[in-house]
Chain A
Amino acid sequence: MLVMIKRSSLIALRLCGFSMCVGLAMAQESPWHLGVTGGQVPAPAAINTVDEKPGPHRIVVAVIDSGVIAGHPSLEGQLLPGYDMVSASQNLRKKRSPDSKPDERGAKCGSRLMADSFRTHGTEVASLVAGNGVDGVFGVNPSAKVVPIRVFGACAMSRKDLLDAISWAAGLPVPGVPANPNPAKIINLSMGGGSSVCNPELQALIDRLVQDQRIIVAAAGNNFQKPLPEPANCSGVISVGALNAENQIEVYSALDPRTLVYAPGGGAALPANTPWAVNKLKVATYELDFFGRERSSARFSGVGTSFAAPVVAGFISLWLSHNPDKTLEDFLSNKARFVQPALPIEKCAQCIPLGLFNADRMGTP
């Protein structure tokens, strides 16, 4: 149970499940990427949603990723039933199932080695969309609900699983898988790869979903200034590059004129003595304690276009919570309300980087 008076306000009272643990935690300020209240100076790249209250409509966001660890306090009450869409041949659990938690820490698939950071990737992404504010992990839209769909584990991730996951997220039938009871309006894809040209099957699916008024957000990829990979290079996808807190494109972000919008994605700490110098996104994650046990935590550790994308997905869900019938076309035609110029980059003369920014009240039609 969480009682929160205001996002950046005083006290959050947390009761820990059935235990007698009652924590009286000092509430945290909203993280820098959302902006600040009370006349303080915001980070140049902040998206200015800190004072934007969600509208009356509950928006479902699918997070297609490495799975989500459901017990995190900052995601309590924010998750809907998900699915593990990793095919049996690539799945250490040997089958698809409704259990969308990630592979265990230290998991290995044959000789393929995976960093621990991938285990918590989906949890961190979900928290940037809809974190409930516990321990200062505020999603852009705490009223959104997340459907976690796992496509990435210790083994390789395939295109077929991705196609099935996107279909299921949107409520389309997938053979052998029960229907998704909570089809998503927004689908977040913090992943990249595939081909330099959008695959026809993937493009056809995206076209169908856009027609069905779904909005698909994809990370531009962390390929150090190369062109967009799939799925960000597909038409009808909101491709998201990463900015640092000072409104500059991060060096690891893909660099491509087709990138639709940039958002705070974090990076190396900035030298400036400012409240945002940490330049990382605050996420719900897990880490090992002194005894080697995995514990939930809240940290400024998010770095990558993977983390910029859910900021955009959360932002659009916040807008849709006021205006649930709006579409991708509406977002694009009203883009001036949702962006501000980011600093240009010499290496890409054709790029006109636009940073996500809430320039108007979202409740305004």
Chain B
Amino acid sequence: MNHFCLRVLTRAGLLHLLMLALPAWADMVWHCSRAPMAEQVAGSRPESGELFALAQQEGADDVIQISVTDLINVYSGVSVRLSGLPLSACFMPVNDSTTVKAMRDLGLSADVSSALARKSAIARNNLYRITDEEEMKACIKRNHPAVGYFNRAQVTEQLAPCF
């Protein structure tokens, strides 16, 4: 078995384990994009359970590394950069219950949320308004590095919980 196949299998197994370990339902879970697998470099990386981060997030090693401040900033329309790339934020309509919880957790007011909903603001600030969870997945994948939220934890090749 070549190294690439081994990595694919290892990763698939890890995803399965993560799915089993996650709660079936939670009220809102932040998710971040993961590095496309084709771009990942081989080499020694710490195993799951051996990884640490700067008290800002938890998540798989290939998930983008952002802080709570970055999360607040990007949903407030403030530019955030990762390794030279702009961070994108995906969000569902402001009357969606998950969105209400997400924005409340970030301490953002209804006024800010309304501003986010305006298309012009969205275009300027790397904010993408989508309509449902399927679009949320696609948005996070398409706009890597990106952040979004779901009403329960999900792990795919493109995204994973990150806080």
Q: Complex formed: what's the CA distance from A283 to B61 in Å?
A: 28
Contact of B52 among A121, A162, A252 (CB under 8 A): A162
The digit string for A306-344, where 1 denotes a CB below 8 A from any CB of B, is 100100000000000000000000000000000000000
Whether A115 and B35, one on each chain, are in contact in the complex, defined by CB atoms closer than 8 angstroms, is: no
Q: Complex formed: what's the CA distance from A159 to B52 in Å?
A: 7
Number of A-B contacts (CB under 8 A): 153
Other than the given A111-B62, A222-B163, 6 more pairs (CB < 8 A) read A112-B62, A113-B65, A114-B82, A116-B81, A152-B53, A303-B72
Residues of A within 8 A of B39 (CB): 110-111
Known A152-B53, A159-B50, A304-B69; contact A113-B105, beta-carbon cutoff 8 A: no
Whether B44 and A107, one on each chain, are in contact in the complex, defined by CB atoms closer than 8 angstroms, is: no
Whether A9 sits at the interface, judged by CB under 8 Å, is no
Query: Which residue from chain A places its CB closest to the CB of B81 in the assembled complex?
Result: A116
Residues of A within 8 A of B83 (CB): 106-108, 112-114, 154
Residues of A within 8 A of B24 (CB): none
Whether B148 sits at the interface, judged by CB under 8 Å, is no
Whether B81 and A106, one on each chain, are in contact in the complex, defined by CB atoms closer than 8 angstroms, is: yes
Known A65-B54, A191-B52, A252-B68; contact A156-B85, beta-carbon cutoff 8 A: no
Contact of B55 among A106, A111, A195, A306 (CB under 8 A): A306
Residues of B within 8 A of A132 (CB): none
Whether B123 sits at the interface, judged by CB under 8 Å, is no
Whether A235 sits at the interface, judged by CB under 8 Å, is no
Whether A304 and B84, one on each chain, are in contact in the complex, defined by CB atoms closer than 8 angstroms, is: no
Q: Complex formed: what's the CA distance from A245 to B40 in Å?
A: 42
Whether B54 and A115, one on each chain, are in contact in the complex, defined by CB atoms closer than 8 angstroms, is: no
Known A268-B106, A268-B107; contact A157-B163, beta-carbon cutoff 8 A: no
Residues of A within 8 A of B64 (CB): 113-115
Whether A268 and B54, one on each chain, are in contact in the complex, defined by CB atoms closer than 8 angstroms, is: no
Within 8 A of B (CB), among A276-309: 301-306, 309
Within 8 A of B (CB), among A54-104: 65-66, 89-90
Within 8 A of B (CB), among A180-204: 190-195
Residues of B within 8 A of A (CB): 30, 35-36, 39-41, 43-46, 49-58, 61-62, 64-70, 72, 80-85, 87, 105-109, 145, 163
Whether B58 and A192, one on each chain, are in contact in the complex, defined by CB atoms closer than 8 angstroms, is: yes
Known A111-B35, A222-B68; contact A193-B40, beta-carbon cutoff 8 A: no
Residues of A within 8 A of B87 (CB): 115
Q: Tell me how far the C-beta of A188 lies from the nearest C-beta in chain B, rounded to whole angstroms.
A: 11
Residues of A within 8 A of B (CB): 65-66, 89-90, 106-108, 110-118, 121, 151-152, 154, 156-159, 162, 190-195, 219-224, 226, 229-230, 251-252, 267-271, 301-306, 309
Whether A194 and B52, one on each chain, are in contact in the complex, defined by CB atoms closer than 8 angstroms, is: yes
Whether A222 and B107, one on each chain, are in contact in the complex, defined by CB atoms closer than 8 angstroms, is: no
Known A112-B65, A268-B107; contact A192-B82, beta-carbon cutoff 8 A: no
Whether A223 and B163, one on each chain, are in contact in the complex, defined by CB atoms closer than 8 angstroms, is: yes
27 contacts between A and B (CB under 8 A): A106-B83, A111-B36, A111-B40, A113-B83, A114-B83, A121-B54, A121-B67, A152-B52, A154-B83, A158-B50, A158-B51, A190-B55, A191-B55, A194-B49, A194-B50, A194-B51, A222-B57, A222-B68, A222-B163, A223-B57, A224-B105, A251-B105, A270-B107, A303-B68, A303-B69, A304-B55, A304-B67
Q: Complex formed: what's the CA distance from A259 to B55 in Å?
A: 14
Residues of B within 8 A of A192 (CB): 52-53, 55, 58
Whether B49 and A195, one on each chain, are in contact in the complex, defined by CB atoms closer than 8 angstroms, is: yes
Residues of A within 8 A of B41 (CB): 110-111
Residues of B within 8 A of A152 (CB): 52-54
Known A89-B44, A113-B145, A156-B61; contact A190-B66, beta-carbon cutoff 8 A: no
Q: Tell me how far the C-beta of B4 lies from the nearest C-beta in chain A, rounded to whole angstroms.
A: 15
Q: Tell me how far the C-beta of A288 lies from the nearest C-beta in chain B, rounded to whole angstroms.
A: 9
Whether A157 and B53, one on each chain, are in contact in the complex, defined by CB atoms closer than 8 angstroms, is: yes
Contact of B67 among A118, A151, A223 (CB under 8 A): A118
Residues of B within 8 A of A305 (CB): 55
Known A113-B64, A269-B107, A304-B69; contact A224-B54, beta-carbon cutoff 8 A: no
Q: Complex formed: what's the CA distance from A269 to B81 in Å?
A: 22
